[in-house]
Chains A and B, each alone.
Chain A
Amino acid sequence: GAGVSQSPRYKVAKRGQDVALRCDPISGHVSLFWYQQALGQGPEFLTYFQNEAQLDKSGLPSDRFFAERPEGSVSTLKIQRTQQEDSAVYLCASSSPLGQLKNTEAFFGQGTRLTVV
């Protein structure tokens, strides 16, 4: 596909369960971002990758949140021991075709809606 793809679109987890959310960025995009969006709020930055390097993880709310992008393409956001406050839409975005790191737009996926019960 031409756009950013996220899976699953919806996930219901029991409190305490571990979850893994997948993001397939646009092919060739160097930068990849994860955001968390609570109901009625704007997206909140979680973490940023440039290729396989995680350059900024300052937005991750706790050590239960972990993100990886081992081969510089697909990324996974993992949440361990989910809590009710983790319920949100998790958005992935990619940007920067190779060789063009600045002054570019970001393309967002549809997001994964996580509900912790």
Chain B
Amino acid sequence: DAKTTQPPSMDCAEGRAANLPCNHSTISGNEYVYWYRQIHSQGPQYIIHGLKNNETNEMASLIITEDRKSSTLILPHATLRDTAVYYCIPAISYDKVIFGPGTSLSVIP
């Protein structure tokens, strides 16, 4: 399983874009990059995933570098409800996902 490095915590002003980085330099060619978040006292929630190309959905955008060794999750207009722990998870398929410590994002009013 690929190992990931994420900053332990980040702040973002409400209404601004939140850019959450993740290093996954040992990712294998067939591993997707998944992002989940966990709001306090809730179960983790899927955000987005990608393999090589950048991806966008209604929640966020995912930018993956060409060498696939790192990625950035972008929340374009952060709200207070986006305060959560964000997990970057390389995985071949969802058969055994390993959560790291993640990044605790605080959105500031």
A positions within 8 Å CB-CB of B: 4, 31, 33, 35, 41-45, 48, 50, 55-56, 91, 93, 95-96, 101-111
Contacts and interface: CB of A to CB of B under 8 A. Distances in A.
Contact of A42 (B32, B49, B96, B102): B102
A91 B41 CA distance: 11
A43 B32 contact: no
A87 B26 CA distance: 33
Contacts of A108: 43-45
SS class of chain A's interface: helix, strand, loop or mixed? strand
B95 interface: yes
B94 A31 contact: yes
Interface string B65-97: 000000000000000000001010000111111
B43 A102 contact: no
A31 B94 CA distance: 8
B92 A106 contact: no
B92 A102 contact: yes
Contacts of B42: 110
Nearest to A108: B43
A103 B32 contact: yes
A104 B94 contact: yes
Contacts of B45: 108
Given A41-B101, A42-B102, A107-B46, A56 B32 contact: no
Contacts of B85: 42
A42 B87 contact: yes
